[in-house]
Amino acid sequence: MTVRIGTRASALARWQTEYVIGLWRAHEPALEVELVPFTTVGDELADAPLERMDGTGFFSSTLERGLLAGEIDVAVHSLKDLPVATTPGLVIACVPRRGAVEDVLCARGGLALRELPAGARVGTSSLRRTAQLRALRPDLAYVSVRGNVPTRLERVEHGELDAVVLARAGLERLGLADRATEVFTPAQVLPAPAQGALAVQARTGARLLQARLAAFEHVPTRQVVDAERALLHELRGGCSVPVGALGRFDDGRVQLEAGVFALAGTPAHRVTVEGVAPEAVGAAAARALLERGAGAILEALEREPRLAAEGPR
């Protein structure tokens, strides 16, 4: 029986889907698949800044509707794009081994962040990145950019921007790792929750399919991203809020570093929490951040005007 797999049509999304298919075929060599491309809300509103769009699931809701309607059997997502609130009727059946977690700078002339001239224009799609970069270089101009990875890199090549900041995993998956001129450590720029991880989603009633997908689940990755996403859930945030998180799994325990960052560069609140249960670790980190004053940063963002967009479901 052919499995219908839904994917966004971008080159990166297609790579991620083909990667999942490769993992699956390592366990089921005779696996037959049909790729079903979808255009999402985020793709249709490619010029709108995510932080000003009302709602969540801009890159995942269309695929989720396709799953619920039975148009596809499986959907492959970048996990950081998937809303933390579970969609009724759907389940994350598999989280494969995580890719690179870091953010990177791609600048003309091979420059690092510290070498960029004052006033240089740096493009980023993320308030989280902007806030942390502004703490490192408040003298630069941070520009909101959207579009796929090659399009953002072209804006640097054509001189519209002096640099862009991207996820290292995306560059590596597209064979563009050599375009990075600096890799930020988590101490410099804390990644987004679940950055570098993929999610394979199925309907809750598809038990046999879920069992097949579980064959290439990577348990350490699932543990840490569950903690990171629990943090985001407790803070009532999505991919457009300045929240960073990075979990590490060792000897059955999850250590979670988490942060909330003001857009001005300060204040910034960071905590580290450790425990056995991922969701409890994430919730504890959220409470610790709120106790330190992170709520004021998030409340200020909620007062910003939003652009109307199609809801996730």
Q: Which residues pair with 143 in a beta bridge?
A: 123
N residues, the chain = 313
Tell me the DSSP string of 23-91: HHHHH-TT--EEEEEE--HHHHTTTS-GGGBSSS-TTTHHHHHHHHTTS-SEEEEEGGGS-SSPPTTEE
pLDDT at residue 238, rounded to an integer:
64
- Render each residue's pLDDT in the chain as its tens digit; 313 residues: 899 999 998 999 999 999 999 999 999 999 999 999 998 654 433 444 444 433 344 568 899 999 999 999 999 999 998 999 989 999 999 999 999 999 999 999 999 999 999 999 999 989 999 999 999 999 999 999 988 999 999 999 999 999 999 999 999 999 999 999 999 999 999 999 999 999 999 999 999 999 999 999 999 999 999 999 999 999 986 666 899 999 999 999 999 999 999 999 999 999 999 999 999 999 999 999 999 999 999 998 877 654 433 333 2
* Residue whose C-alpha is closest to residue 282's, from 293, 271, 292, 295: 271
Three-state DSSP state, 310 = coil
Active site residues: 81
pLDDT of 313 reads 29
- Which token pair is 166? 């991207």
Nearest by Cα to 213 from 33, 62, 28, 79: 28
pLDDT of residue 301: 85
pLDDT value at residue 239: 61
Contact indicator for 289, 241 with CB cutoff of 8 Å: no
Give the chain's domains with CATH numbers: 1-96+197-217 (3.40.190.10), 103-183 (3.40.190.10), 219-306 (3.30.160.40)
For the chain, how are helix, strand and coil distributed in percent, rounded to 5?
A: 40, 25, 40
